[in-house]
Every structure is written in C-alpha cells, then in structure tokens.
Amino acid sequence: MELTTQHKETLDRAVRAIHERTFFARYPEHPSPKIYGETADQEGREWFQDRVGKNFSELLQAADAGWVGDEQSPYLQEPLNIKYPVVSAAAYVANACEVFDTWRQLPVLNRAALLIESLERMKARFFQIAYATMHTTGQGYMMAFQASGPHAADRALEAIAMGYEEQARFPGEVVWDKPMGKFNLTLKKTWRTMPKGIGLVVGCSTFPTWNSVPGMYASLVTGNPVIVKPHPGSVLPMAILVAELQKVLQENNLNPLVVQLAVDTHDKLITKELAEDPAVKLIDYTGGSAFGDYLEGLPGKVVFTEKTGVNSAIIDSTDEVDKMVGNLAFSIALYSGQMCTAPQNIFIPADGINTPGGKVSFDELATKFVAQFNGLIDNPKAGPFVLGAVQNPATCDRVKDAENLPGQVLLPSRSIENPMFKNARIATPALIAVEAHQIDIFSQELFGPVAFLIKTKDTAESVALARKLAAGHGAISCAAYTLDEDMKDYIADQMALAATPVAFNFKTGIYVNQHAGFSDFHVTGGNPAGNASFTNPEYVIKRFTWVGTREPVS
Amino acid sequence: MELTTQHKETLDRAVRAIHERTFFARYPEHPSPKIYGETADQEGREWFQDRVGKNFSELLQAADAGWVGDEQSPYLQEPLNIKYPVVSAAAYVANACEVFDTWRQLPVLNRAALLIESLERMKARFFQIAYATMHTTGQGYMMAFQASGPHAADRALEAIAMGYEEQARFPGEVVWDKPMGKFNLTLKKTWRTMPKGIGLVVGCSTFPTWNSVPGMYASLVTGNPVIVKPHPGSVLPMAILVAELQKVLQENNLNPLVVQLAVDTHDKLITKELAEDPAVKLIDYTGGSAFGDYLEGLPGKVVFTEKTGVNSAIIDSTDEVDKMVGNLAFSIALYSGQMCTAPQNIFIPADGINTPGGKVSFDELATKFVAQFNGLIDNPKAGPFVLGAVQNPATCDRVKDAENLPGQVLLPSRSIENPMFKNARIATPALIAVEAHQIDIFSQELFGPVAFLIKTKDTAESVALARKLAAGHGAISCAAYTLDEDMKDYIADQMALAATPVAFNFKTGIYVNQHAGFSDFHVTGGNPAGNASFTNPEYVIKRFTWVGTREPVS
C-alpha cells in the first residue's frame, strides 16, 4: 500500500517520541498563516457559517432513521440546526460487525497508515474544526484551534504509535528448539493479535475531539471497528474527522463503516443501548462519574474512563508571589474552569507562605488572587478570549449555588461583554475562602469557574488534604509551589500515592492545565478521576489479545 | 546491593527471552542427580516425611491466632497434620500496609534481585517441594517436580523480568524543551511507577506453586506487598517458597512480612475477608468460575483470574492416526485430567477423518482411543505415574455422574493399583461418545478424567462448536489435527477469535497440556477461562501506575 511507505516515517518518529518523552509535535499548534495558509482561517470560519441550518452530508453512512441534531452555540445562545444522518443503535452495531473481519485482517502497518492519512487530512481542516469547536463547546478561538486540532491529532498519532508498537512487541513466528537429551524438540510457533470486538467512543461536550480521538484511534489501530457517539451538544468537530477517515477508507477500497458517527439528541440518548450490546467489547468514555461508574460496571466490557476529579494547588513557598498567583488565576479562568485539569482547591497555610521577602499572609494572597482575576477579566484584550463561553447553562447555576455555600465569597462570579458575541454565555470565576474543616464544601468537583482558597494548619495538612481528595474523589492535576527541596520530594511522593501528577512552580509560559502529547500521561488511571491514561501501554494493550499456535517442525 | 550485581545477568537474559520467545529455561526441568545432587531426591523425601504431623516453623511470621492445617495426601488418603502459624485476616493486611512504604521505595532492580535470590534458594528445595506437591495435589512425581519446581520458578522469573522491563519502559527524568518562537520553554520532567497497594494471591489445590508464583512475583516486583492465601488442601509447597523469600528479606535487613502466607481451613475460609479489605488492590486467583466471577466483580480491585474452561481437540485429518490418538489419550490421562489445559471435547466428523491410507471412521477412532487408554493405564510402569492421584473426592463423584449422562460410555472410569501407594485415590479416564446436538452435556467443564468423543457433521461444525464453547465457556488450550493448510489457517483464525491458542499435529514428545515459560502465553485473557495471561505485558502493567512531575528549568 502506497500509504504505508508514505507514513511509516511518521509512525517511527512517533514511536521514538513516546519513549523519549522529550518535546515532539507532528502538527503545529499555532494557527499561523505561514504554516496553514493565508486564507485558511477565513475559509474555515465561512465553511462553518455555511453549515449552520443544513444537513451535514459528508458522512458515508445511511440515514435510515432520519436526520437529527441538537447543537447550540454558547456564543450565540441559539441552535445551530445542523443535522446528521442516523440509523438505529442496532444498525450501527450490525454495520460494525460486518466490517470486523476485513478490518482485523488488514496488517497493523496498513491500519496505522490509513489512520495517519486521516490525520493528515484533518490537518487541512483544523480551522473548520476550530470554529465547530468554538460554537459547540464555548472554547475561545485559540484553545479551540489547538485542543481540537493539532493537539488532538498529536494525541491520536500517539495512540496509533503506541498501538502499533505493542502489536509488534512479540515475534509473529519463531522456531522453538528445546534440547531433550537425545534429541531436540522443535516447534514452529506463531503469535497474532486479535481485536476484542467493537469499540464505542462516548464523547463529552467540552473537548469533543481531544478526549475522543485517543480511544477511537487506539481501538482502530488494534483492529476494532469503532462507533463514535459524540455528546449531543458537540457533534460537528468529530463529524468532520469521522467523515475524513471514512473517505480515506473508501478511497482505499475499504468499507467506510469501519468508523461510524452515531449521533443522538438530549431527549433520546442511545449510549446505554450501544454500550450494553454484547458485540461492543471496548468503551471509551469522558464525562461525569455517575455514568462512568455505570459503564465501568458493565460485565464483559473493557472500559476506559476519564471522569471527574478535584484538582488541588498546594502553596508552601515561592520566590515570585505575583507570578505564581497570576499563573494559578489564569489556569482557573482559562475556558471558565471547564478543563478537567483546572485547579479548584488552593491550599494555603493559615500563617501564610514563605517568600524571600518574608511571610505573605493568607489574606494578602487572597487580595492578590482577587486582583489578578479582575486584572485578567477586565482586560478587554484578554478576558473574553481566555474565559470563552460556558458550554452548559447548568454550569452557571452551579457557580451561583457555590456562592451560597458557607464560605466567604472573595470574588463573586459575573458576566462580562464579549465584543464579538454580545449574547455569549459568560461566567467569570467565583473565588471563595473556606477553612480546612469545611471539607464537605470542597471535596466534590464543582465543574466550572469556581475556586476555593482553603486555610490549612500548615503545608503538611495541605498535602494530606490534597492527597485524600485525590485518592477519594479523583484528581487529574496538582499544582504545587515550594522552594524547599525536601517538601518538593514529599509532595511528589504523597501525590503519587494518590496517582496524581504534580506541576511544580509554574509561573510563566506554562500552566498546570496543559498536558503535552508524547510526554505527559493525561490522567494516570490510578485514582477515581479515571481508569485510563493517554497514552500508556495499558491503554492499547487491553484492546487486543495475544494468541499463539504451535506445530512440530518435521 | 551485592545481590543486584549477582542477579542482573539472569534478569537481562530473562528479559531477552521474553522477547525472543525461543526456548529458554533458567531452572533444569529434569530431577537429575547430576544436576541437583546424588542425595537430593532422598533428602527431599525424608524432609517431607519428617514434616508430617508437625508445626511448620520456618515462616517468619506470628501465630497470634494459633496453628492450623487441613492438608490430606491423595496418595495416602489421610491427613498430613502439618500446622501453619496464623493471625487474623485484618492482621495480615495491617502487616502488609506497614511494610508498604519500605518495599515500594526500594529501587526496582533491588526488588528484582531479592526475588531472583528467593528462586535460587527455591532451587535447592525443588525435591522437598516436589514431595509436598505430590502429597497435597496427587500429582505424579515427575510432574510434581517439574511443575512445582523448575517450571514454576521459570514462570516466576518471567513475571519478574516482565515487571522489571515495564517499569524501565519510560525514562525516570528528561529535559523537555519546547520552541515557543522567541524563547524555549524548558521543563524538567520525572516519572515514577507507583504500586497499586496490597496484593492477594489465592492459590488452587492442583497446581499450588505454578499457578501462584506469577501473580506473587508480578505484584512484588512492581512494589506491592503480597499476602499468599494458598488453597487449604495444598499449603506446604508455597509455605516453603514464602519462607525462603522471607529469609532473603530478613538477611537483607528488610521486613520479612513483605510477603506473608495466610493459611486457612475448609471450615473457616478467609479469602473473602482478605479480598474485600479496602487496602487490598490486586487479586490473583486460580480456581472455579463462580468465585472468580465474584472476585472480578469486586469494585476498586484489579483482578487477575484463571478460571474454568472446556478445551477442545479438533480432528480433521492426520498422517499418523495411532500417534495422534496416543498423544491425545496421554494428554487426557496425565494427572487424571486435572490440568487446566487437558482436552475434554474431541470433535470428529461423522464420516471419519482423512489419512494417507483413506478414511478412518468415527467408530474406528473410538476403538483406537479405548485401546490407547487401556494400554497406558494397564502398563504398570506408566499408568499409575501418569495418572497420579485425584486431589478432591468430588472429582471421582463427577466422573461417575458423567457416565450416567445420555451418552455412550466407551470406556468407564475405574481404579488401578499404585504399587507405591496402595491407598491412593485413583480414577482412570472415562470416555463417552455423544452427538454434536447434545451440546448441553459437553458445554461445561467436567473437571477431572472425563473426555467426550463428539460426532459432528464435518470439520466446519467441529470448529464452530469448539469456537462457540471457548467464547462462551472459556478454553485454555485447543489441539487440532489436519493435513490441509487452508483448514489449518481457518482453525487458527477461528479459535483465535475465541482467544484460544491452537496446538497443531502434536504426536510425540510434546502434549497440548504443556505451556512453556518465556514462550507460550498461558491463558490468553480473552475468553471466560480467565482475564489474565502468564505473562503478557498487561499482567504486570496493571499492578502499578505511572505518575509524573514537571518543573521549569531556570
């Protein structure tokens, strides 16, 4: 296959990157005209605007059950009225079963090449995907471009590379020659990797491609046909990608239904019907813990989840108080706290933190946080674009409810004007001070722009609470600030016991929210925030089975 | 550590062997005086005889709850009256939690070296372990020596090597340097592997060490302290091994309770109490499906199981009918069908099988099977030693019940005399002919010496039934005989879809029951016979979590 030759180098480079874990990116993250073309941005925006109110006709799949769509723009607060073709849940599964043998029998390298080709095609549509993401998730433009485009494509390539490597881990055939004394016993042995069955990928409304492509590509490269079930609130970004892959398959004389998009609507969800189908053996899920726990409990399935968690920031000491506070405030404000990696609980000792200029008190820090938030929010060139819009109206309600909790509201949430979208759904971060003993308030994830400053006895108590919450309720990130090397080791070890990665002393240019493909494992799989990790070996190994044969050599 | 240097070469060789999958064995499988010493056998037998009726005092653990033991010899049909020290289930867990930090903080290489040292010590006790195994499981002498001694030690080394390699898979520390246009963003990143918690290893009564050591050593090398809960019917083999490892730990100034033996008795089993303890995160289990399913369903645990299955033999054609029948008859008779890999269902087309000399009919094959069984059983130099004794009286009842099923008993089970053990519990294989439509009879595992000759329409139906049973009820092995290359590919593919390895055309010197360490994956993990595999990467990866840290480089 021509594609194989073409993409083998990309694949090899990606495999290397996984092991080196130094910086690597296949797809440039900046929406620069120099890289992507002078007219790419405008064409992408116009393409998106032209899709509104129409049937999305690119998918190579039937519409036996009609056309549906439920998306709304958080920036416009009005329906997009884009409709997608649908068939019954049983029909998606039947289609996937039909293509199962062809897809699994393709050599791994060919599967990998076809999948990489779909990412190369995706690259040409990053701007379309960016606008589709903005107007379904509420993400700001830059994040929508990066997260749904190049970063997602890199995560997909990472999953392909890991899956490729694992399937090449053991030899396809060996001669096994055992000395038996007077003679040798000689066997020809072979090994093959067998896919588990049909894969189901259940997307979320905030990161429709970034959180879906690792599971989709991991299942596909290991030979499992995939049904992508996007969140009804954000379909278009994945529709573009699925359509591109279907076209690649068709052009290569394969049945495009190796991957299918199964769209549903809020009033008639089909995830359970798909997930419980006996032919569906693999499930990838991003979303709330209740539904994730239900999926994890389904018998006979291998389930990969990213659920909810409560992320902590532990402040012990710093040499640059304002940069630290600015960094954390930005991390919380970015996409209005709707990132799974956003900090929620900021632990500060009651007697303040050490700095080269002496102690900075809890109240001084609180004042600095309020100032940093206001400075960011009220900067018309930054605030609206960093905050983006709120995907789900329920998030705004949650923020208001949080302000009624028995804490001290240091900064209430409010709305600001987005100069480009007057009707955007906006909620700035609420900052609330509480005491360590008020753990019931901050021990659950309050998804959205809510952060707590939590007054602890000392850093040891801060660490103990952060570890306890991560172990009991899950955590995907932890920010920590300390100048003390022993304390640094202690924090790293204690949070590792709760399977939580720690970002130390981030001040400028990098935020705890960011997890880089080919280097940072996203979610560890070791605490209740999720049982899977982008992309460790377990993430691909569990999608196939090693099976051997033996035969005497005559 | 001195041990590290000493055992690093063994470890490296084992890692290579895992990848090469050609023949490798660290521990010689033949109980040869030249290898193990002229007096080793006799000393081992005498050592065992001297243990009978006494307290086993080698374990470095407390006896707060007294001394207990329930073992009986299937050869003597009388209690061994060997007693082991016990504490409460809660105390085992508390002990394990106490040593958790020390064990996990030891470098992986040091853990591996200590564990390999325990295997080297085990080697000096292979004969003791052999007699302990014979007189608790009923295995014949040769199997007891090989399976519980060198083969088990090789499987343990394999698990250590796989665990070592996986924990060295990603770098401990890198500098991550990302070009940001005008500047580079430079982070120091570290990764560490964190054990999941306390490991529980639940043994079975037929292969007390072989089935227990992979899980035990896999959990230990990945940093998890282990509680070994042997089957009350076969304790002594693992007691020897646990005692040796405890001594190695103590000699190296480590708490010996990193590994504990938790003995119980049939009237007061403690497995559930141990398994449900929140600190127990890893469970390895070999045994019946009902209890295995219960363990797999426990929330918050990572569970590795080998449960029950129904193994098939598919006969399509052969160039040496008698050798084929002899091979299968031996496989069924070996240890009286008490191997998880023993064939149960032999599928034969109604119009017979092709051979170079023409068709051989179903009835002719049936006659040959009966003759081969009788020839083996009635050979006083082979029969008693191949059959061994029956571990559990319930197995004898099961065999008798099978003869009352609506099939044609071609050969009833009977007892024969073992010249060395007049009182041995012996049951020769029952051979029963049934039709393919009587699937209810042969679709469950009838553990023990029972085999069915099943008359099918043709080989295609044989394959379909074998696949269906493996997928629905589990299978660990499949024997197939065919001279047709297309049929061979078809069988391999179809059985691989049910995650079952196929042994083709075994005639002399090798039996389908045998799975070699460092080469054959034992159990694939892909069908109901078990969710784990000795030893694939998944078997060790799931026992720890990768956790990272990041910090800007100034």
The string of pLDDT tens digits covering residues B288-303 is: 999 999 999 999 999 9
Across the interface, which of B170, B175, B537 has its CB nearest the CB of A169?
B537
Tokens of A115: 């999948």
Tens-place pLDDT, residues B331-378: 999 999 999 999 999 999 999 999 999 999 999 999 999 999 999 999
Q: What local confidence, expressed as pLDDT, does residue A2 receive?
A: 81
A381-403 mean pLDDT: 96
The pLDDT of residue A1 is above 90: no
Whole-angstrom distance, CA of residue A471 vs CA of residue A69 = 38
Asked if residue A180 belongs to a domain, the reply is yes
The beta-carbon contacts of B124-128 under 8 Å, at least 24 apart in sequence, are B125/B44, B125/B240, B125/B244, B126/B27, B126/B31, B126/B36, B126/B40, B126/B44, B126/B150, B126/B153, B127/B31, B127/B36, B127/B40, B127/B41, B127/B43, B127/B44, B127/B45, B127/B47, B128/B44, B128/B47, B128/B48, B128/B240
The pLDDT of residue A265 is above 90: yes
Query: In terms of domains, do B42 and B188 share one?
Result: yes
Chain A CB contacts of B516 below 8 Å: 176, 178
Q: Is B182 on the interface with A (CB under 8 A)?
A: no
CATH code assigned at B199: 3.40.605.10
| Residue percentage of chain A with pLDDT more than 70 | 100
Chain B CB contacts of A179 below 8 Å: 23
Chain A CB contacts of B504 below 8 Å: 549-551
The pLDDT of residue A522 is above 80: yes
Whole-angstrom distance, CA of residue A11 vs CA of residue A18 = 11
Query: In terms of domains, do A541 and A480 share one?
Result: no
Query: In terms of domains, do B297 and B326 share one?
Result: no
The domain of B140 spans: 2-10+37-308+533-545
Nearest residue in chain B measured CA to CA from A293: B299
Phi/psi class of residue A120: alpha, beta or left (left: φ > 0; alpha: ψ in -120 to 50)? Answer: alpha
Chain A CB contacts of B196 below 8 Å: 526
Asked if residue A160 belongs to a domain, the reply is yes
CB contact under 8 A, B299 and A297: yes
Asked if residue B234 belongs to a domain, the reply is yes
Q: What local confidence, expressed as pLDDT, does residue B446 receive?
A: 94
Intra-chain end-to-end CA distance of chain A, in Å: 35
Chain B CB contacts of A509 below 8 Å: 180, 183, 185, 552
Q: Which helix (H) or strand (E) holds B369?
A: helix B362-377
Kindly list the distances between the CA atom of residue A260 and the CA atoms of A101, A228, A239, B308, in Å, as whole numbers in the listed order.
16, 6, 9, 37
Please state whether the peptide bond connecting residue B500 to the residue before it is cis, i.e. omega within 30 degrees of 0.
no
CATH code assigned at B418: 3.40.309.10
Query: In terms of domains, do A303 and A318 share one?
Result: no
Nearest residue in chain B measured CA to CA from A23: B176
Q: What local confidence, expressed as pLDDT, does residue A224 receive?
A: 98
Measured in degrees and rounded to the nearest 5, phi and psi for residue B197 equal 155, -130
The pLDDT of residue B523 is above 80: yes
Query: In terms of domains, do A272 and A360 share one?
Result: no
CB B342 within 8 A of CB B311: yes
Q: What local confidence, expressed as pLDDT, does residue A181 receive?
A: 87
Token pair 């996937």: residue? A96
CB B443 within 8 A of CB B469: yes
Query: In terms of domains, do B78 and B201 share one?
Result: yes
The pLDDT of residue B51 is above 90: yes
Query: In terms of domains, do A286 and A404 share one?
Result: no
Nearest residue in chain A measured CA to CA from B499: A547
Nearest residue in chain A measured CA to CA from B502: A549
Query: In terms of domains, do A115 and A50 share one?
Result: yes
CB A341 within 8 A of CB A476: yes
Q: Is A495 on the interface with B (CB under 8 A)?
A: yes
Asked if residue A511 belongs to a domain, the reply is no
In total, the C-beta contacts within 8 angstroms joining chain A to chain B are 175
CB contact under 8 A, A21 and B525: no
Instruction: Enumerate residues 262 to 321 of chain B having a beta carbon within 8 A of any beta carbon in chain A.
Output: 297, 299
Whole-angstrom distance, CA of residue B186 vs CA of residue B193 = 23
Instruction: Enumerate residues 16 to 55 of chain B having a beta carbon within 8 A of any beta carbon in chain A.
Output: 19-23, 30
Query: In terms of domains, do A278 and A424 share one?
Result: no
Q: What local confidence, expressed as pLDDT, does residue A229 receive?
A: 98
Q: What local confidence, expressed as pLDDT, does residue B268 receive?
A: 96
Asked if residue A164 belongs to a domain, the reply is yes
Mean pLDDT of chain A: 97
Chain B CB contacts of A516 below 8 Å: 176, 178
Q: Is B553 on the interface with A (CB under 8 A)?
A: no
pTM of the model: 0.97
CB contact under 8 A, A537 and B183: no
Report which DSSP code applies to B449: S
Chain B CB contacts of A506 below 8 Å: 550, 552
Mean pLDDT of chain B: 97
Whole-angstrom distance, CA of residue B132 vs CA of residue B239 = 10
Instruction: Enumerate residues 121 to 160 of chain B having a beta carbon within 8 A of any beta carbon in chain A.
Output: none
Closest CA to A90 of A301, A262, A295: A262
Residue type, B35: I
Tens-place pLDDT, residues A458-499: 999 999 999 999 999 999 999 999 999 999 999 999 999 999
Whole-angstrom distance, CA of residue A261 vs CA of residue A245 = 11
Q: What local confidence, expressed as pLDDT, does residue B181 receive?
A: 87
Tens-place pLDDT, residues A227-253: 999 999 999 999 999 999 999 999 999
Phi/psi class of residue B463: alpha, beta or left (left: φ > 0; alpha: ψ in -120 to 50)? Answer: alpha
* pLDDT tier, B554 (very low <50, low <70, confident <90, very high otherwise): confident
Asked if residue B30 belongs to a domain, the reply is no
Here the ipTM equals 0.97
Across the interface, which of B500, B526, B545 has its CB nearest the CB of A526?
B545
CB contact under 8 A, A516 and B297: no
Q: What local confidence, expressed as pLDDT, does residue B1 receive?
A: 72
**For chain B, what is the domain count?**
2
B79-101 mean pLDDT: 98
CB contact under 8 A, B521 and A19: no
Chain A CB contacts of B550 below 8 Å: 501-504, 506, 510, 520
CA B248 to chain A, closest CA, distance in angstroms equals 27
Query: In terms of domains, do A65 and A104 share one?
Result: yes
CB contact under 8 A, A176 and B536: no
CB contact under 8 A, A176 and B500: no
Asked if residue B381 belongs to a domain, the reply is yes
Asked if residue B121 belongs to a domain, the reply is yes
Query: In terms of domains, do B447 and B539 share one?
Result: no
CB A407 within 8 A of CB A451: no
Residue type, B316: D
Query: In terms of domains, do B256 and B331 share one?
Result: no
A51-68 mean pLDDT: 98
